[in-house]
Amino acid sequence: MAYHALWLPTAEKLGLKWVPQFENGPIVEVGNLPAVMDELRKLRDALAGNPKNDSLLERIDWILEKFSELDIAEVSRIAIG
């Protein structure tokens, strides 16, 4: 699974807080969404440059796009997992 093989080791190497929690399906308060998105961007940057990671980069881009589309006035928490 890409999460264990790439996401998790890269997140730990970068010292990310949120990405390592994704496996357990955390509930994230909407106020923490900018931090989660920032971590996803850092993860994406770290994985970029290797053609083997193209599908993972597409997945991260899709997640970031969906988070950006959220109406934070309508949402208080987000389940990730």
**Alpha-carbon distance values, 24 to 38, 53, 79, 80 (Å):** 19, 23, 10, 8
> What band does 1 get if pLDDT is binned at 50, 70 and 90?
low
Q: Is the pTM of this model over 0.85?
A: yes
Per the CB < 8 A criterion, the answer to whether 44 and 14 are in contact is no
- Give the model confidence (pLDDT) of 48-80 as tens digits: 999 999 999 999 999 999 999 998 889 899 998
Per the CB < 8 A criterion, the answer to whether 31 and 75 are in contact is no
Residues forming beta bridges with residue 27, ordered by sequence position? 79
How would you classify residue 73: left for phi > 0, otherwise alpha for psi between -120 and 50, otherwise beta? alpha
